[in-house]
Amino acid sequence: MAWQGIEGHDAIVRRFIAAHERGRIAGSYLFVGPPGVGKGSFALALAKSLTCQAPQPGLVACGACGSCVQADAGSHPDIDLVRKPDDKATLPLELFIGDDEHRMREGLCWRILLRPALGGRKVAVIMDADHFSEESANCLLKTLEEPPDAAVIILVGTSPERQLPTIRSRCQVIRFTPLPAEVVRSVIERESQAAATSVDSATLDACGRHAGGSLTRARLLLDPDVTAFRTRLLELLARRPLPGVELARDTTAFVEAAGKEAPPRRARMRIVIDEVLDVFRGAIRGAPEAGDAPQRNAVAAWAADPDAASSAIDATLAAAADIDRFLNVNVVIDAWTAVLEEPRLARSG
Ligand SMILES: [Zn+2]
């Protein structure tokens, strides 16, 4: 079953349909789950359904009314979408209450108080909810405490632990899980057909299996350079002693090959981080069945020393947080690979 093009989250779809039928759509939701599984797409599809002027059974937007047309064009006056700018570490305060000259005369918290332009609901979708600054969160808090009638605010983050407790406690938490490999494969196949690019069946299979349930990761794996580096990375991780210098050098080269811009570089670093986390976690709790030979070899090497795998997870999560905070990618890679090479140093330190 695909609900408005959303695959793999049927239980959540049923939950919203049931809530809608009972008139119990909440004022605020917090969507959490791994990156790339479709939380943002789900939020926008839900926003379109909730504002549709001729909704179909099953909380499906008609796709033809004035509201749906504007939702599809991204110009709906009652659907408010905000996200963290690429060059900012946190969601800027201005997004919520306007800049200095327009305090509380602009921004999401102001707009949501306005009467719906099309007479239905107002829906606000806040992407990157992991990246609230304290002051932005405090501004939103007032809106979450006294939400306007029929308004729905959807926050899209990754884990409840990354949200400020004050925000988390005011939202209904909806948990998204990684997509099954076959769903990833079929979505990627459909996307490549729509883009008129031919992707062979073996590549689609590999994308589905190695993406860890993330469409974002699967899309990156369509790039042969990324797939080649993945294999190289797993080979290095399987070697003992761990070749830390080579690992740092090759990872840096891979990340820099994405170009001079920071966002594609961070996307490549993200895929490195996801890949190695799969290895370390697999070493501790058993490898995923879908793993290929390079992955199984790397997992086996780390499974021999669970303490080292555990330290490596901590170091990798710290590196991921540093990347999010815009620390220099090369510096992060050097520090991170040094810990992987000698995990006990990190433990004692
Ligand atoms: Zn409609």
Question: pLDDT tens, position by position, for the chain (349 residues)?
Answer: 689 989 999 999 999 999 999 999 999 999 999 989 999 999 999 999 999 999 999 999 999 999 999 999 999 999 999 999 988 889 999 999 999 999 888 999 999 999 999 989 999 999 999 999 999 999 999 999 988 988 999 999 998 888 889 999 999 999 999 999 999 999 999 999 999 888 999 999 999 999 989 999 999 999 999 999 999 999 999 999 999 999 999 999 999 999 998 888 888 998 999 999 999 999 998 765 557 899 999 999 999 999 999 999 999 999 998 888 878 888 999 999 999 998 766 654 4
Ligand 1 centroid–CA 260 distance in Å is: 42
Q: Distance between CA atoms of 98 and 87, rounded to whole angstroms?
A: 18
Ligand 1 centroid–CA 3 distance in Å is: 15
Integer CA distances (angstroms), 150 to 52, 78, 183, 226, in order = 14, 12, 34, 45
Ligand 1 centroid–CA 69 distance in Å is: 7
Ligand 1 centroid–CA 67 distance in Å is: 6
Integer CA distances (angstroms), 151 to 28, 45, 85, 311, in order = 8, 16, 25, 44
Alpha-helix runs per DSSP H in 112-261 = 134-145, 165-168, 181-194, 201-210, 215-221, 224-238, 244-256
Ligand 1 centroid–CA 215 distance in Å is: 27
Ligand 1 centroid–CA 16 distance in Å is: 17
Ligand 1 centroid–CA 5 distance in Å is: 15
Ligand 1 centroid–CA 117 distance in Å is: 15
Ligand 1 centroid–CA 51 distance in Å is: 7
Ligand 1 centroid–CA 14 distance in Å is: 20
Ligand 1 centroid–CA 70 distance in Å is: 9
Closest to 161 (Cα-Cα) out of 277, 285, 32: 32
Q: Are 139 and 131 in contact (CB under 8 A)?
A: no
Ligand 1 centroid–CA 48 distance in Å is: 8
Ligand 1 centroid–CA 195 distance in Å is: 26
Q: Are 275 and 234 in contact (CB under 8 A)?
A: yes
